[in-house]
Structure 1
Amino acid sequence: MAFPQDLLDSLRRAPDAVAFEHGDRRVRRGEVLDLIGRFAAGLRAAGIRPGDGVGLATGVTPEGWAVQIAVQTLGARAVGVRAGLPAAHLDAVLDGVAAVVTDAELPEQAGVRTLPIGPELLAAHEEPVPCGKPSDLGWVVFTSGSTGVPKGVAYRFDALGEFGLEQRAGESAADYRRFLLFGTLSSAVMVLHAQACLLAGGTVVIPAGLPDFPRILPRLDITAALVTVPRLYRMLDVLREEEIDLSGLRALTVAGSPVEPGLLAEGFARIGPALRQGYGQTETGKLTVLGTADVAERPEAIASVGLPVEGVSLEVRDGSGRAVPAGVTGEVFARTARAFAGYWRDPPLSATVLADGWVRTQDIGRLDERGFLYLTGRARDVVIVNAVLHHTGPIERALAAHSAVDQAYVVAVPDERTGEAAHAFVVAAPGCEPDPGELRAAVAAEVGEAAVPASFTVLAEVPVAESGKPDKAALRALAR
């Protein structure tokens, strides 16, 4: 089935059911299908053809979602354009784009044709019929660019169709009766969760303002939502002080980075079986899931990111590329039909990550004999002190295990004496004041004296990047 045929069919099946709640506005599934047909006709009239790149610089609205599906229906390549990009990043994102559909003003230096969402683009209508070939690129999702120019993660239409198959098989209609959509439509994981909701026959709920977790969940009768790890930690801060009824919640997925085991256990206790930890990457989609049932059966799995989801194979390999036995640490490789095709216009970088149908995740970890995946760090999250390489993940875990520490983050900063030095930032556990001497001793006992950070800083909260993940670039700036 050609993508996005399954989504179009889902909208046709129940035209009077509500697809989107956008503040006080209700948009029925038949109306969304009509929007897709109007956008497709308007884009075709504007000269968009199969294979063209179309930038999408829209807010989180029903129209913003519908125009992406219209672009992909035409067999064109949808390219998300995140708001507020610096000029150099915007140039990289718009490389190869024929036009940008927008409901806002783009900087003049973008230098591409803009197609405003309005009467002219929506004047005509055509029956939406997917035109993309399975091997064509249908979506390019750009990374945040926190380590340089953003990378464009490119998906073929056949992989996009595989996401639909996974969602129909894995997400129940009850779980996705009402999914909370917020943030940006340039986020692959947010768009895919919204897609799962619509395929399940549910309603995508877009709040009028910034969501106030966890209070917004019962207020809007949300059954499914996605949160980053820092947002989960803030939710726990609230739940320690307030009694909030989360019994209607069916699926709260926390993703972006591993959750500290003690805080994940607290999350399971306070939020219940709706909470699940997901691990994946933009390049692969979802790879593993950990839920309360997994931990009840295997308590030590609380330190893992769970078991592979259907259609995913994982291997841990050593430095020479050979698979290692269970329990041995190495680099995690993943194989899935949902994997990306490569990085946009960057074959050399693609070749370093894609090999023989496998994706090199660049995450370090191990598999146990039951198949649970335990992550220990990123291949690139290292600090080299006196020519000795240390992964920051084990240092962070040693710090987070201390009773006075709620969260811990370690970054590498150039040092004139040792080449690089590790600097630690911790958020104190409620009512605690971490003692630097005790923290040094905890790291030394766990990973050795040579890995002890050069400094320890207590923060009220960790800075968060636009991606929703802890902002290690900001922490490096503080360390300097």
Structure 2
Amino acid sequence: MNLPCSTRTMNLGHLLDQTARRLPDHPAMIWGERRWNWSQMRARVDAMARLLAARGVGKGDRVLVQSPNNNQMWESLWACLKLGAIWVPANFRGAPDDLRWMVELAQPKLLICHADYPDHADMGLPVLAIGQAGFGPDIDEALAAQDDAPLRAADVERDDPAWLFFTSGSTGKPKAAVLTHGQMGFVIANHLADLIPGTGEQDASLVVAPLSHGAGIHQMLQVARGAVTILPEKGFDPAEIWRLVQSHRVSNMFTVPTIVKLLTEDRAVDLFDHSSLRHVIYAGAPMYRADQIRALEKLGPVLVQYFGLGEVTGCITVLPARLHETGEGWTLEGSCGYPRTGIQVEIQDETGKPLPPGETGELCVTGGAVFAGYWNNPEANAKSFRDGWFRTGDLGHMDERGFFYLTGRESDMYISGGSNIHPREIEEKLLLHPDIAECAVLGMPDPKWGEIGVAICVMRGGVQPDLEAWLGPKIARYKLPKRFLFWEALPKSGYGKITKKLVREELIRRDDEAANG
């Protein structure tokens, strides 16, 4: 059968155009006292696209962005999309050397840099500044001289890159996952169906995480449906966040478990009306059961968990609000849910053979949300793909009904006395202790056992509990950590996640200091 073969797809920038035509006067973004409707947002984006084009940015060119959340940073995504250029957002909390690595890898044509980061602006690139700065023209002033008439989005193919999504770099330097126009079109439709069904222009979404990462993808859904985006003016302030939820009748938020924990433990959660919330999404890491119960008791049945990596743009599994429960004996305790719409998930052994329910192996995935590969990194691509499956590096198992359970990362597992130990199980039990707020368990070298477990804990109060005695009856003896340490806080990534890499580095530093007196 001869069929016409076309790889043409919709430029993602059309989502903004379509919403601006349909809802020109409806609010698109609110940031303190500043408001933009969809018509104004489209005009600013088209003016910015012309501004970038005047500086030589065209289809396939990379635009690097170093900025915290603000409207200009968000508009730069859509300007890049409409040009067919590639958006390369940095974690704004990173050091100049982190940005320099992104420059080396991505070879961007231009840097957009917030005025608060002059050291990051010195990258040998043409620069546009967000705000008044000494290193480049203010992007808002430059926009004033640009035509803001509607600009037709560039033609794109399904596999044309749209976004270089940098991984968190838990091992080695961060890699750049290539997200394409065709893939992201699938992701947006999938997220709308699985995470925030029923969302429309009547809704409001509050941004509580960096738009450079998962929160940015989540906000693309709001553009597609015409829901208004609310940007907090301050940093992370639970009282201000709950005030904004009440005043704007916020219906959805994208978060990570740490953010949910901080928001629901703060006294402000009881001072404001949050009954408008329908979908509080947590992703990026599993949520410990104790934190899950607290959040459900405070917010009601609004938690939506999804498991996914940047490489699959979040689209691996989902555990919707209706399946979350607070009671003991919850049959899905520890589950990250079932496969997302249009996604196939398997537990595979080291040869790629699918394993039956109940057996532990590596979680592998295929489907329309899987990225196109890592930018200029054939070695990582060869390691991460096998027979068309993306290998997540996460260990787990599937039950008879097709729900998945994560044991941990392959890199987190340690071997003590010849036994494989997965820290996740130990952490879950430690966090059920009423005096423990956070914890991380990792394996450290030991001359006798090969590796031993070290539990680093953050207390709620001022008295250190005897965790060895408390944990002993609840866990197999060989899994019991050999050291229990208490810190004031655990180091977190720029996206608010507890990462074993940072905890390990801090533990080594402290042990070295103690050894050297």
TM-score normalised to structure 1 length: 0.91
SS at match of 1:79: strand
Q: Where in structure 2 are the equivalents of 1:198-213 lying within 5 Å?
A: 198-213=223-238
Kept in 2: contact 1:176–1:197 (CA 8 A): no
Query: Counterpart of 1:25 in structure 2: which amino acid?
Result: R
Q: Which residue in the other structure is 2:92 paired with?
A: 83
SS at match of 1:349: helix
CA distance in 2, matches of 1:313, 1:439: 41
CA distance in 1, matches of 2:209, 2:436: 29
Q: Does 1:192 align with 2:217?
A: yes
Query: Counterpart of 2:120 in structure 1: which amino acid?
Result: P
Q: Which residue in the other structure is 1:288 paired with?
A: 317
Kept in 1: contact 2:201–2:226 (CA 8 A): no
Q: Does 1:223 align with 2:232?
A: no
CA distance in 1, matches of 2:119, 2:50: 23
Q: Does 1:425 align with 2:447?
A: no
Query: Counterpart of 1:435 in structure 2: which amino acid?
Result: D
Query: Counterpart of 2:230 in structure 1: which amino acid?
Result: V
Alpha-carbon displacement from aligned partner over 1:361-420 (angstroms, at most 9, x marks no partner): 111111112221111111110223356542222232343345654543102333455443
Kept in 1: contact 2:201–2:228 (CA 8 A): no
Give the superposition deviation at 1:435.
Answer: 1.3
Give the superposition deviation at 1:268.
Answer: 1.7
Kept in 2: contact 1:255–1:279 (CA 8 A): yes
Q: Does 1:43 align with 2:52?
A: yes
Give the superposition deviation at 1:79.
Answer: 0.6
Q: Which residue in the other structure is 1:177 paired with?
A: 203
Kept in 1: contact 2:11–2:82 (CA 8 A): yes
Q: Does 1:305 align with 2:313?
A: no
Q: Which residue in the other structure is 2:163 paired with?
A: 139
Aligned-residue identity in percent: 26
CA distance in 2, matches of 1:55, 1:194: 19
Alpha-carbon displacement from aligned partner over 1:112-134 (angstroms, at most 9, x marks no partner): 22133233355223513233322
Give the superposition deviation at 1:310.
Answer: 1.2
Q: 2:188 is matched with which residue: 164, 168, 173?
A: 164
Q: Which residue in the other structure is 1:100 paired with?
A: 111
Paired residues, what number?
476
Kept in 2: contact 1:175–1:224 (CA 8 A): no
Q: Which residue in the other structure is 1:348 paired with?
A: 379
**Cα pair distance change 1:430/1:372, threshold 3 Å:** farther
Q: 2:128 is matched with which residue: 115, 129, 134?
A: 115
CA distance in 2, matches of 1:238, 1:107: 34
Kept in 2: contact 1:17–1:28 (CA 8 A): yes
CA RMSD of aligned residues (A): 2.7
SS at match of 1:209: coil
Q: Which residue in the other structure is 2:175 paired with?
A: 151
Query: Counterpart of 2:331 in structure 1: which amino acid?
Result: E
CA distance in 2, matches of 1:432, 1:373: 37
Kept in 1: contact 2:301–2:324 (CA 8 A): no
Alpha-carbon displacement from aligned partner over 1:455-479 (angstroms, at most 9, x marks no partner): 1123454332212101434432236
Unmatched 5+ stretches in structure 1? none
Q: Which residue in the other structure is 2:3 paired with?
A: none
CA distance in 1, matches of 2:272, 2:464: 28
Kept in 2: contact 1:8–1:33 (CA 8 A): yes
CA distance in 2, matches of 1:165, 1:228: 21
CA distance in 2, matches of 1:389, 1:119: 59
Give the superposition deviation at 1:236.
Answer: 3.1
Kept in 2: contact 1:178–1:205 (CA 8 A): yes
Q: Which residue in the other structure is 2:347 paired with?
A: 316
TM-score normalised to structure 2 length: 0.85
Alpha-carbon displacement from aligned partner over 1:10-31 (angstroms, at most 9, x marks no partner): 2221111110001110101001
Q: Which residue in the other structure is 2:359 paired with?
A: 328
Q: 2:297 is matched with which residue: 262, 269, 286?
A: 269
Kept in 2: contact 1:239–1:270 (CA 8 A): no
CA distance in 2, matches of 1:461, 1:174: 39
Q: Does 1:392 align with 2:414?
A: no
**Cα pair distance change 1:152/1:401, threshold 3 Å:** same
Give the superposition deviation at 1:206.
Answer: 0.5
Give the superposition deviation at 1:33.
Answer: 0.6
Give the superposition deviation at 1:301.
Answer: 0.7
Kept in 2: contact 1:167–1:199 (CA 8 A): no
Q: Does 1:24 align with 2:33?
A: yes
SS at match of 1:180: strand
CA distance in 2, matches of 1:207, 1:256: 21
Query: Counterpart of 1:8 in structure 2: which amino acid?
Result: D
CA distance in 1, matches of 2:483, 2:47: 58
CA distance in 2, matches of 1:400, 1:37: 49
Kept in 1: contact 2:204–2:227 (CA 8 A): yes
Query: Counterpart of 2:422 in structure 1: which amino acid?
Result: H
Q: Which residue in the other structure is 1:33 paired with?
A: 42
SS at match of 1:410: strand
**Cα pair distance change 1:248/1:152, threshold 3 Å:** same
Kept in 2: contact 1:254–1:275 (CA 8 A): yes
SS at match of 2:379: helix
Q: Does 1:467 align with 2:495?
A: yes
Query: Counterpart of 2:235 in structure 1: which amino acid?
Result: L
Kept in 2: contact 1:134–1:156 (CA 8 A): yes
**Cα pair distance change 1:361/1:10, threshold 3 Å:** same
Kept in 2: contact 1:422–1:455 (CA 8 A): yes
Alpha-carbon displacement from aligned partner over 1:271-309 (angstroms, at most 9, x marks no partner): 112222221111112322223422469931132112222
**Cα pair distance change 1:176/1:65, threshold 3 Å:** farther
SS at match of 2:142: coil
Q: Which residue in the other structure is 1:383 paired with?
A: 414
Query: Counterpart of 1:194 in structure 2: which amino acid?
Result: Q
Q: Which residue in the other structure is 2:134 paired with?
A: none
CA distance in 1, matches of 2:412, 2:222: 35
**Cα pair distance change 1:438/1:219, threshold 3 Å:** farther
Q: Which residue in the other structure is 1:410 paired with?
A: 441
Q: 1:2 is matched with which residue: 10, 14, 18?
A: 10
SS at match of 1:119: helix
